[in-house]
Structure 1
Amino acid sequence: MTDHSVDPALLFKAETLAEALPYMQRYAGSTFVVKYGGHAMGDAEAAEDFAEDIVLLKAVGINPIVVHGGGPQIGAALKAQGIESRFVDGLRVTDAATMKVAEMVLSGAINKEIVSWIAAEGGRAVGISGKDGRLVTATKVQGAQDLGFVGEPDDVDTRILDTISKAGMIPVVAPIGVGTDGQTYNINADTMAGALAIATGAERLFLLTDVPGVLDKSKRLLSDLTPADIAGLQTDGTIHGGMIPKLQTCIDAVEGGVDAAVILDGRVPHAMLIEIFTRQGAGTLVRRA
């Protein structure tokens, strides 16, 4: 089990924030990169809880960086415009028309909605994409099939993130990158979050999605895994489908210097706080052996 040091009763039943602060401030000065998934952001109450948690992290001295997805929302927008969605190995094939819609939805509607949620909870957020300040320079994903304008991070320049965080604000990043030639690329949000976590030297990478974490064959939550554990679970078929790339992102992050990466159910109220500040945790934590 994850070794947390805070009794949830002390954290969530504290009469005042001041009573809870001593438990929370042990991460003061750390950077947390939080990927907020497209499926996890579909509920208004859950979105409010998420924004509250992000604002609270900032209030206790942690520097949160939010990276958001938006697959379902992109799919709906494409359907409304009569554009067919096609996927290869979980990645959306992105032609010029699809790229235009994806950027509009990600950098526009979703990004600014999350900024507004954070503002409603008393926080100050700045919405950007990987194109702003050349935060993420991307290269085209190469594979057996041409995915169009799907990219992967090649270089991360954290100066814009540093500037926003030092100004007391919270960066909210859309997973869009730019090539050295100025071409816009759609980037998988998990991959984007992992790259930012490595580049910023983050203490934690959180992948908030719509599953509890990694489950064993009896559907019980596996709370702690190492890269070696993950390899074994993949070999015996316990891990399959969309969980494989998520866990690969976690492995890449911890091998790139991130202390730990966690897969969490973003639909659970205050899942991040439970994972960070309680003994039992809330998801699957991946750490180097």
Structure 2
Amino acid sequence: MLAAKTFLPRPYTHQTLTFPNPSIKSSKSSSLCLKSSPQSLLTETLSTTTAKTRVQILSEALPFIQKFRGKTMVVKYGGAAMKSEALQSSVISDLVLLSCIGLRIVFVHGGGPEINQWLNRLGIKPNFLNGLRVTDATTMEIVSMVLVGKVNKHLVGLINKAGATAVGLCGTDGRIFTAIPSPDSDQLGFVGEISSVDTSVLRPLINDNLIPVIASVAADGMGQSYNINADTAAGELAAALGAEKLLLLTDVAGILEDKGDSGSLVKEIDVEGVRRMMDDGKIAGGMIPKVNCCVKSLAKGVKTASIIDGRVEHSLLLEILTDEGAGTMITG
């Protein structure tokens, strides 16, 4: 049995709702995938949408906009949503829309696949230990160049192009993160953990409705750079900012009651329920550090933490602006 507050898993499907592009005066439209909800216009499958329907959809989103307007959301970006250009476009448009309706977005990213590509170009074989990248001095230099110099600026450019204003940073800037070596540094090299978070550089940006885009690289007190797990960085930052939500984009549907059944999604669960599932072996492998990151951030004051399916188009909007969501929400 799950904890009393745990919502039992239930299968879900998604249907497609099309929104005409207002900048193109033609019959062509773009698609937005939305999960089914029996009493909502958001469940209607339409080839075209009338003006009245679009207004009704916006009206349905109003309670969510009112609830979250002015609240800080920390989004960790990576996985499939980063590798696919179509999903990348979806994530960026979601961020800009959420920013435009008054949510305060902080965007934390990794970039593992891109790092691997550059290591391979240079004839260096990527090496991992327990899911963490073994990072010697040469690899650390490449990690910094790729994450801070390439991926970060690319994402900033996409957000700016989409109509919001983004500011690219890494954990070293303004001592946002101060790093310490991992306990397994003798095996992992320059893989670090976060010893402290300073949000003084970020708060003016957030208050001005700018979108900080933060690469998961940090330095220790002596200036040595460390590779930081992006999930961990996002969780620590969400706690330090007192965020309303932490959202981790992943390559899976969320927490599954049955790991072999993608339809057994647990929509909502509390911390005790998560611990029971871990004890029962239902949460294992790469999901463990993500869940632990969420639990830790909740313990430090974050209201809710969600592990959402980055493979679903517009998953951020589904999670924030609908009751159905796009993954698993963990509550304190």
TM-score by length of structure 2 reads 0.81
1:144/1:200 CA distance change after superposition, 3 Å:
closer
In 1, the alpha carbon distance for the partners of 2:143 and 2:41 equals 40
Asked if structure 1 preserves the Cα contact closer than 8 Å seen for 2:41 and 2:56, the reply is no
Could you say which residue in structure 1 is the equivalent of 2:254?
213
Could you tell me how far 1:43 is from its partner in structure 2?
A: 1.1
Going from structure 1 to structure 2, the CA distance change for 1:22 and 1:39 (only over 3 Å counts) comes to: closer
Decide which moves more: 12-21 or 257-266: 12-21
Match of 2:282 among 206, 217, 238: 238
Say whether residues 1:251 and 2:295 are aligned partners. Answer: yes
Matching of residue 86 in structure 1 with residue 86 in structure 2: no
Instruction: Give yes or no for contact 1:47–1:117 (8 Å, CA) kept in 2.
Output: no
Please report the RMSD computed on the Cα atoms of aligned residues, expressed in angstroms: 2.2
Partner AA of 1:248 in structure 2:
N
Which 4+ stretches in 1 moved above 3 angstroms? 10-13, 15-21
SS at match of 1:137: strand
How far is the alpha carbon of 1:39 from its aligned partner?
3.2
Larger Cα-atom Rg: 2
Shift of 1:144: 7.9
Q: Which residue of 1 aligns with 2:163?
A: 122
Local SS of the residue matching 1:14: helix
* Amino acid corresponding to residue 195 of structure 2 in structure 1: D
Residues 77, 239 of structure 1: CA spacing in aligned structure 2 closer, same or farther, 3 A cutoff?
same
1:202 maps to: 243
- Shift in Å, 1:77: 0.8
Of 192, 195, 206, the match for 1:165? 206
- 1:105 lines up with 2:105 in the alignment: no
In the other structure, the counterpart of 1:55 is 96
Which whole-Å CA distance do the structure 1 matches of 2:61 and 2:160 have between them?
21
- Unaligned 5+ residue runs, structure 2? 1-6, 9-36
Segment drifting more, 274-283 vs 65-74: 274-283
Q: Give per-residue Cα distances to partners, 1:58-117, cap 9 Å, x unaligned.
A: 111111000011111111111111112111111101110000000111011111111111
- Secondary structure of 1:146's aligned partner: helix
Between the aligned partners of 1:147 and 1:262, the Cα distance in structure 2 is 28
TM-score, length-scaled by structure 1: 0.93
Tell me the residue number matched to 1:143. 184
Partner Cα distance (1:44, 1:156) in 2: 32
Q: Secondary structure at the match of 1:250?
A: helix
Moved more, 143-152 or 85-94: 143-152
